[in-house]
Structure 1
Amino acid sequence: MKTDANILVLLIEDDMDIAETVSDFLTLEGIECDHAYDGETGLRMASGGHYDVILLDVMLPFRDGVSVCKALRDKGLDTPVLMLTARDTLDDKLTGFRAGADDYLIKPFALEELVIRTRVLSRRRSGEIKRFRLADLEIDFTEKTIRRGTTFIRVPPTGWTILEILAQNSPKLVSRNRLEMALWGGEPPDTNALKVHLYKLRQKLDRPFSRSLIHTVPNQGTALREED
């Protein structure tokens, strides 16, 4: 289970006073916080996929928060997003949720409530991921399609489940135990079952192409990412 000590948050907020107050309070609560002043910078920083939660203001210079959130979801980023805004109408909230936000907090808010919501969101990935892109690979989770370049790839249900988990955690390593829990509830049919399914997935996803995207680190796990 994730602890506060290793929660990393990105705050995208153009009001420097608010940003400093929020960042200082999160730090005091043991939550690490990076800051972006505008929407374009925030989108660039968030696109790396290294953050556990994104705290996203709606009104931002260069690119508004709704646009940033939608762009992240279109990229396939499933990092939980908590929208921060003074707009409190139902339509405003629905607009944020349609863009892929996971939660909504109205300004002014209590810092203690922000911390609680951040901790809750850090324990899960967003269910709003729709599309994942890496190099020439594109996965559409709505249509359940996989494509590398111009080639569409079909995989069996087990391969799809593995690929979905790897994509949702990319570029991080996913442990063998986590994959086995997702596939068989932690009780695989035999000790080599996961290895066999990963091999079959590589045959479909990597072998016909010049670059491999599925990488296994012995005794650590498997990741979907470009080679270092």
Structure 2
Amino acid sequence: MSINVLLVEDDIDLASTVVDYLEIEGISCDHAANGVQGLSLIEANHYQVILLDLNLPRLDGLSVCQKVRASSDDTPILMLTARDSLKDKVAGFDAGTDDYLVKPFEIEELLVRIISLSKRRSGQASTLNVGDLILQLKACTATYAGEPVKLTPITFKLLEKLMREASKPVTRELLMQAIWGEDQPDSNSLKVHIHHLRKQLDKVNASLSIDTKAGFGFVLRKKTS
């Protein structure tokens, strides 16, 4: 799997070293030299991982991180900074970063962390949205075009997984793991909850469907006209 990374770093020498090394390792890396430019690239492109310096001109790293999370973007963020106090690390995690690497760092360690983060989505996003469907993760509520969508705890977890992978088929195994962990019921239970979720989306006239992929799983996507 190809990995596409954004590095937001104002130290040009460090940025050049990181970009060159990652490209040698087969990882595509865009670069922004300030927070405003970084935010613009994030809004315009899809990245597997964002590498974010804390001390940035025009817009600091904490503010960039907060804006990314406020937009429901769940791209994993690795914060790079010379600040190594517990207070600074807590501030970074509160802003929505997923990992923290203190400068100076070994570039091999950076590579390992990028690969690890690229395999998942961030758990730091407070909301998810697919079109007019909005999922508030902390409040455990869902709305479509402002109208509440009634969900049980299980259908909430089911919808969250489908929204995180919107337009991509998700296997039955992954859905059941996301909902029940290792203590899983029989596969018919998943079908029941899929049916319930479809009914709730139909009640609010959502322009979204949960389609069955025969022999594989399910996919949440926009209805075709």
| Fold conserved between structures, TM > 0.5 | yes
The residue type paired with residue 24 of structure 1 is D
What is the alpha-carbon distance in structure 1 between the residues aligned to residue 217 and residue 46 of structure 2? Answer: 17
Correspondence 1:101 to 2:121: no
Q: Normalising by the residue count of structure 2, what TM-score does the alignment of the two structures yield?
A: 0.82
Give the letter aligned to residue 159 of structure 1. Answer: T
1:9-42 per-residue CA deviation (whole Å, 9 max, x = no partner) reads 2222233332221111112223232333332343
| Preserved CA contact (<8 Å) 2:147 2:204 | no
Is the CA contact 1:85–1:106 (under 8 Å) kept in the aligned structure 2? yes
- Equivalence map 1:64-213=2 (5 Å): 64-183=60-179, 185=182, 189-190=186-187, 193-209=189-205, 211-212=207-208
How many residues are matched?
223
Consecutive unaligned residues of structure 1, counting only runs of 5 or more, are none
RMSD, matched Cα: 2.8
| Partners of 2:221 and 2:87 in 1: CA distance | 38
Higher mean alpha-carbon deviation, 168-177 vs 70-79, is at 168-177
User: Which secondary structure does the structure 1 equivalent of 2:124 belong to?
Assistant: coil
Amino acid at match of 2:129: R
- Residues 104 and 181 of structure 1: is their aligned pair in 2 closer, same or farther, counting only changes over 3 Å? closer
Counterpart position of 2:6: 10
1:22 correspondence with 2:10: no
In structure 2, list runs of 5 or more residues that go unmatched. none
Query: 1:56, CA displacement in angstroms?
Result: 0.7
**2 CA distance for matches of 1:35 and 1:218?**
41
Matched, 1:57 2:53: yes
Question: Per the alignment, in what secondary structure is the counterpart of residue 51 of structure 1?
Answer: coil
Shift of 1:167: 2.6
